[in-house]
Amino acid sequence: EAQVTQNPRYLITVTGKKLTVTCSQNMNHEYMSWYRQDPGLGLRQIYYSMNVEVTDKGDVPEGYKVSRKEKRNFPLILESPSPNQTSLYFCASSPTGGTGELFFGEGSRLTVL
Amino acid sequence: GENVEQHPSTLSVQEGDSAVIKCTYSDSASNYFPWYKQELGKRPQLIIDIRSNVGEKKDQRIAVTLNKTAKHFSLHITETQPEDSAVYFCAASKSRNNDMRFGAGTRLTVKP
Percentage of residues of chain A with pLDDT beyond 90? 88
The arithmetic mean of pLDDT across residues A38-67, rounded, is 94
The arithmetic mean of pLDDT across residues A25-32, rounded, is 94
Which residues of chain B fall below pLDDT 70? 96-97
A28 φ/ψ angles, rounded to the nearest 5 degrees = 60, 30
| Rounded-to-integer distance, Cα A31 and Cα A27, Å | 11
Give the chain B residue nearest A43 (alpha carbons). B102
Q: Which residues of B touch A93 (CB under 8 A)?
A: none
| Selection from B9, B88, B85, B108 nearest residue B47 by Cα | B88
Name the band, by pLDDT with cuts 50, 70 and 90, for residue A55.
very high
* pLDDT over 90 at A99, yes or no: no
Which pLDDT score, from 0 to 100, does residue A64 have?
98
B26 touches chain A (CB under 8 A): no
DSSP, collapsed to helix, strand or coil, labels residue B48 as strand
